[in-house]
Structures are given as C-alpha cells and as structure tokens.
Structure 1
C-alpha cells in the first residue's frame, strides 16, 4: 500500500504525516511537496518525497503514481478561481494515475454556508464524485486558530472579552484533532465513499471561552456584548455554519475532541 499526501510540508500535512508514522511503516508513505527543501526532514527519515505543484499539472501524475490512497489537502490560495483550477488539476491527475482512493480535506457543513469558500469545497467534492474514484471527504471544522483574531491576551489583561451581540456557538477544534482523524482513516481499510464532519463533540460559546480563559489565567474574565465591535471575523462567522457538530471525529480518534481549555493554551501568553 502506498499513501500519498499532498501539501505534506504544510501545517496540516505535517501533523497528519507525523501521526501516520505511528500507524504504518514509513516505506508506505509518500510526501508530495512543492519545495523539496521543506521536505528535508522527511528525506532524512527515509520517507519518499516527490515534487507536486497544483499549478503544474505535469508534476501531478507522476507524483500520484502507484497511490493506493491519495490525501488531497485543499489549496490555500486566496483566489477562488485559481484554487478551483488547482483542484481540477489534482482531480484530473488522480484519475489519470488510477488512484485507488481519493481523500479530500473539505469544509464542515458547506451546504449551510453563504460564502464562496465552502461552496468551492462542495464543488470540489462533486468533481471528485464525478470521476468514479472511491472517495472519502474529511470535512474540517473552522480551525480553533480563528480565536487568534480576538486578542485573548489583551482581554485577560483587561479582565473582559468584548464581542458583538448574538447567540454565538462554535464547533472549532485544533488541527491536531483533525490530523488524528485523517491519519486513522488513511491507516485503516474501508471508509470508501464516506463523508465525515470533523468538528468538536459539542458546541462551545463565548461564555465557555471566557470561563476557560479565566481558569488558565487564574483571574476573572467577564464577557460583554458590544454592538460597536468591528472585526472582520464576526462577519465571516455569521456566513458559515460554525456551530453544527457531529460525533464523526470522536468515533474516528476514539475519544472526544480536545477540550476548549487545552485548545486555547497556545493562544494565551501568560
């Protein structure tokens, strides 16, 4: 069996590959990267590295050759038109290379969103299904990283987190949880033509967030709703389904998703 991972030197790809090393022999893993320099640690371990550039269709077919499973990590390009073209290149190459199973990192509950990004992921899913290749869609929740825009350190110093009015609920989790789930699917047989919503086991609120902040900081932190708050992230959050949850991740990794308290530790400097 050969497991090919695109974007293997990126944040998510690195986490997935490192988890996979605990589950399968390294000679079954192929790391596909755009820059070989970023993959030097893999080569030093003895992992096969191949050049793979979504903008270079000629690089993809040879990169995917012999893949029993291809993990296609979605493009991070900010232009959706370019991103969709890149995705098309990958899908076409996967079909030409006769990939046996195509796994794709999608977006959680894209049908319920009203912005282009989740719809692009949905369009990519449909394109993959049209190839006839057995697929697995790993629909990732919005990463917990979004709280980095909320300046939690300042909120702790002030003893107050201010947010716009609303009944805010979130399904966000750390990339590490998503990596664990992806590695489990890659290492196990099956999961053919399945879609997994990889979210928190239960939704959390800004009240939960301030409680976790207070516990970590060992000082009171209150929550205040303020209609004058101006931050692009809230407009984005209102246009996606950031609150629906599933037990798919919990079943794949054999435990609940990481607690909110543990998840926010990297974003609080104490």
Structure 2
C-alpha cells in the first residue's frame, strides 16, 4: 500500500495534468470510503466526506487561480486551520481509516502544495499549526487529541518542504513509513496501542521523526526574524503540553502527570522567554 501511494505521489509531480490529478484524488477518496465503518449512523458522515472531497475537486478543475487552488488543496488534505470538516467523519471511522486519512491520504497533497508554493501562505500555515495544539487542551476525547496532534505535525512537514523542496525526496517517504508504522498499533489494538512511546513521539521528543522535522524547520526559521521563531517555539511548548494532556486521559496516574505537566510547562515557558 505504501509503495502504491508513493508511486501515485511521484506520478503527480511528473505529469502536470489536472484531469489525471483529479482521477488520482478520486482513487484516494474511494479507498478511504471503502475502509469506513458502514452502519446506519455513519451513512450521513460518509456522504458528507464524499461530497466535500468531490466538490473541492470540481472547484479545482474549474479554477485557474494558484492562490485559490492552494486553498482547495489545504481543504482536501485537512491541513490546519482547514481541518474542522474532518472531525465529523473521523469519529465514526475505524482505526485503519483514521490512520489512512491522517497520514497516507495526505501524501499526494504534500507534493502538489509544493508546486503551488506562495510565501503569503507561510504565516498562515505557521499559525495554523498552533490551532490544533490549542484545541487539544480543550477536548477530552482521546482520538480527537491524536487527530489534532497529527494535524499539527502535518503542518510542520509542510513548512519544512516549503523551505527546502528537495527535502520531500528524502523526508516524505520516511514520514509516511514512520506514521503508518506508528498508527498500525492503533489499527490492530485500538486504545490499547497507545503506549508511552507513541505519546512521546506525538510530543516530538528527541529520537523520533517529528522531533527532527521541527529541528530542521527551526534551524531554517532563524533566518526569518524574531516573531516567526517565537511562534514556532510556542508550538513546541504547546505540543509538549498537549502530549501530557493526552497522557492524563489515557492513563490513570493523573496526580503524577499533573505535577509533570506543571514542571514542564514552566520550564519551557522560561526557555521561551529567554
């Protein structure tokens, strides 16, 4: 499955034809629909998902403004801050479909968004990576918190690709394999698959691919100015806080993690101010 996704993604770069792109989008949409749980309560959400994907696909075919086309790809891929529509679909999906929509299905859009790069969108993407992290502090659903953390990670990947387009050649395949491996535990075991290692990776702890993505992005951001760096450092702090928030909901040792939560919060707040 991963090799097929990578093949279609590279095919989008080689063939600059909107009709072929649209056909590939339909293939990815149908695969996502086939893996959804089919029951009486999910029909409306499945129809909602298919309708949004195809309406955005038709708008893409009828519009030739690069700015508006980039907006459409952000909506179709569910990148923050345009991720709100995916919530209604994901809460009725299986864990496999959950992992498919958050990792594998987004892969072609990384390549296409890179082709429609516009610097006026950069600050929007950076601010968008903060929105899911702030949302994760207000929700109590485990799957919703995982969804928000992975959405923020996707925005960080976009920033890295925009800074260094050649990074997509090396980073995106590893990112796809890494995320697919990480989500397979949830597909097979459900909430039992949420281990400490899984949560630490979502929190961008050193040693995981999300940490190196943020590290490379931060090294490139230092050339752009103080405000951009502060916003990105704020996203790092919020990522850690959101991860500890997820730990408190998954595991029962709330008192211990409340103390860790407070310690890490003030520690990184001091680093941010320095």
TM class by smaller structure: 0.3 to 0.5
More strand by share: 1
More helix by share: 2
Task: Report the structure number with the largest CA radius of gyration.
Answer: 1
Calculate the TM-score normalised by the size of structure 1: 0.33
Calculate the TM-score normalised by the size of structure 2: 0.33
